[in-house]
Structure 1
Amino acid sequence: MKKIVLSLVCFGCLIACSDGDLQIETIDFNSVSVQSCDNPVTTSTTLLFKINDSEALILELQTGVLDNGVVGETITTESSIPSQSSLTYRIFSDGITSSYFCDAIPPATPVVVQEVEAQDGMVIIQTTANTDSTSFVHTLSLSGISFVNEAGERITNLAVDEFGEVTTAIPAETAATNQ
């Protein structure tokens, strides 16, 4: 009887062991600032990213979605994922910097260990003029984001609701008409 129980325990351990694949349990970038290769950010900027050591959350916006709006009004724009904008989560073999995304030729290392594309969700952008009407502040939020890995499993504990804020300049002709 002991041999049977021991055999079952050993068999259970064998099938319960990980096959070495990375398991993503939590995606949390709320405490990380949003970055862009464009300095300053313009209304034609489409690539925004957040870096957390060896992880990155990459948001590629549809062209023209960072609309400058109207001074004195709050404008809300939505962009659906994945049909209009895309959101990608990457794990790298080592820590990365913005040069990975911004250099004309990306560095050879670190390498992408795992990449997961968002299958559903919405980017919500609220645009308002800052207090002195010199720039527009775009507050980006993510809603209903659903990451699904290659095995078809959903990633749980998603904590990226607040993507961040970016600022674009108010064109001189717009600023002049509001004075």
Structure 2
Amino acid sequence: MKKYIASAICVLFLSCDDGDLEIETLDFDSITSVQSCGEVSSTASNVLFKINGDEALILELPNGAIANEVTLEDIAVNVNESGSVIYRIFSGDVSNSYFCDDVPPVEPIVAEEISAEDGIIYITTTATDSVTFEHTIRLSGISLITGNDSRITDLRINEFGTITTSL
């Protein structure tokens, strides 16, 4: 009888959730709008982001990655060489004021931040008229490693979105 009780206690202790945050997927497909603080520029670095409730996916693009000219080939920005992809989980719903205000709000706080270690950001530019350009941003091979060395593999963020600039 003691063996059964000891086995039951072991099963209870080993099956308890230790409260670690587990991220299985990143799904920003339902979020169609790509946001930025101010106008996107072809002559400066740009920070673009998508917000999904208490999550945000942030792209930092270097100077010249967004060009106001039609591209015959995709512009490729290597993550961790000249650009970055950051995934943040917040303690509550976040708005663009968190990213755009001069003094960010105190709440919500960042519960976890994961930077991509590898991947490529592709940017394709087409002209809609003589002064307006559409930039389609795609992500490829993005590799996110959490603080406890878990890899996020089911990335549903291949199509980041489209932004528009003008001359």
Alignment of 1:51-130 (within 5 A): 51-70=51-70, 74-130=72-128
Deviation at 1:99, TM superposition (A): 0.5
One-letter amino acid matched to 2:34: V
| Residue deviations 1:130-178 (CA, integer Å, cap 9, x gap) | 1x333111100000011000111101321100000011113xxxxxxxx
Q: TM-score, normalised by structure 2?
A: 0.92
Q: More strand per residue: 1 or 2? A: 2
Correspondence for 1:162 among 126, 141, 159: 159
Deviation at 1:30?
1.4
Instruction: Quote the offset at 1:9 in angstroms.
Output: 3.3
Query: What is the one-letter code of the residue matched to 2:15?
Result: A
CA distance in 1, matches of 2:51, 2:165: 21
Deviation at 1:13, TM superposition (A): 2.8
1:144 equivalent to 2:141? Answer yes
Q: Report the secondary structure of 1:110's partner residue.
A: coil
Tell me which structure has the larger Cα radius of gyration.
1
Aligned amino acid, residue 80 of structure 1: N
| Residues in 2 aligned to 1:156 and 1:18: alpha-carbon distance in whole angstroms | 22
Q: Which residue of 1 aligns with 2:40?
A: 41
User: Unpaired runs of 5+ in structure 1?
Assistant: 171-179
Question: Are 2:21 and 1:22 aligned?
Answer: yes
Query: Using the alignment, how far apart are the partners of 2:87 and 2:156 within structure 1?
Result: 12
Is 1:134 equivalent to 2:131 in the alignment? yes
SS at match of 1:100: helix
TM-fit CA distance, 1:49: 0.2
Alpha carbons of structure 1 residues 13 and 94: separation in structure 2 relative to 1, 3 Å:
same
* Coordinate RMSD, CA, aligned: 1.5
> Quick one: distance in 2 between partners of 1:9 and 1:63?
60
Q: Counterpart of 2:11 in structure 1: which amino acid?
A: G
Q: Residue 74 of structure 2: SS of its match in structure 1?
A: strand
User: In structure 1, what is the Cα distance between the partners aligned to 2:2 and 2:34?
Assistant: 58
Question: Any stretches of 5+ residues in structure 2 without a counterpart?
Answer: none
What letter matches 1:36 in structure 2?
S
Deviation at 1:45, TM superposition (A): 4.7
Give the C-alpha shift of residue 83 in structure 1: 1.5
SS at structure 2 position matched to 1:108: coil
Report which stretch shifted further, 117-126 or 74-83.
Answer: 74-83
* 1:93-120 Cα distance to aligned partner (Å, 9 max, x none): 1101100000011111100011111111
- For the Cα contact (< 8 Å) 2:45–2:60, is it kept in 1? no
